Structure 1
């Protein structure tokens, strides 16, 4: 694996954390809570206030409610910590416009069209871009057949280099779906 070596001496200045949690509800729908938190290792002078080291510069939450077909049936966002109080959190109901999008079909494009740029919050919109694959991971083996036992090619095949239909992983773990090198196979893009 190629990874640039970390310097022997370096100092952390900024941390951005994404946290995505996916919950199944009693009504069969799923909730996706995603947060973005930015902190600094030094005090930061913000508009009108000084924020102590370790206190959030940004703390934002987006919540989607999705069905098992990956359709967004409800959505909203909240900004809890921000540099411009009364402004950063004034995106109102912008993220409700995500209702009707599908996480596996055109979500990222629809996200940009509906809340990109000045239509929403840059940070919340950036955070929302990771939701399709996070929800698919949550659905894997529960909602989505990842073994191919139902006679349908497993969703994840041909979506990354390790799971190529003509590759070793598929030959060993999904022999039914293995194809010889050079044989025609679908190469769909990653879920949007």
Structure 2
């Protein structure tokens, strides 16, 4: 992505790419494969060793399995490229601590409690924070009902979670009329 109208010439320096893929399993669970890759456009010294332009500075992977309620049932990490071999990849099975967290309920807070700071890797922890919306997007409309809401009569989960889908807005009025809530008229509420 580039700026709409850069005001001066420029050159790329660094790229961070996230990739998240979700797979349906035959046992009813879902595998989540996520990666973070950092590359530079110029050679850089790392831990006294030159890293060539285009070679990854970081290439890290998270592998999760989640059930249909989006609770993590298995988790592991893998670090393939890193600045400090023998140190960066020595976090052991830290990311197994994601097991038991639910992607729709308190996941990001749970990640911070279990893996922030020296309890994990900064980059893998950051990568884990993009997983809730990516997995929900993967399952929306097929596994997660995005139209009718849950069996308790609650509205679809996505409503009131972003400005476009606020329940008093035009988008909800048009596409989710059952769940639309008109904004109270200020003249009738002021007394």
- TM, length-normalised to structure 2: 0.90
Moved more, 92-101 or 152-161: 152-161
User: For 2:181, which of 159, 179, 182 is the aligned residue?
Assistant: 179
Q: CA–CA distance in 1 between the matches of 2:52 and 2:4?
A: 32
Moved over 4 A (4+): 149-152
2:64 corresponds in structure 1 to 64
Aligned-partner SS, 1:147: coil
Q: CA–CA distance in 2 between the matches of 1:182 and 1:41?
A: 54
User: For 1:159, which of 158, 161, 164 is the aligned residue?
Assistant: 161
Q: CA–CA distance in 2 between the matches of 1:76 and 1:149?
A: 32
Q: CA RMSD in A?
A: 1.6
2:136 corresponds in structure 1 to 136
Shift of residue 39, structure 1, vs aligned partner:
0.3
Q: Is the 8 A contact 2:149 2:157 kept in 1?
A: no
Specify every segment of 5 or more residues in structure 1 that has no aligned partner in the other structure, as ranges. 184-192
Shift of residue 44, structure 1, vs aligned partner:
0.8
Shift of residue 53, structure 1, vs aligned partner:
0.3
State how many pairs are aligned: 181
1:98 corresponds in structure 2 to 98
Shift of residue 4, structure 1, vs aligned partner:
7.4
- TM, length-normalised to structure 1: 0.89
1:82 corresponds in structure 2 to 82
The structure showing larger relative contact order (alpha-carbon pairs under 8 Å, at least 6 residues apart) is 1
Q: Is the 8 A contact 1:166 1:182 kept in 2?
A: no
Shift of residue 113, structure 1, vs aligned partner:
1.2
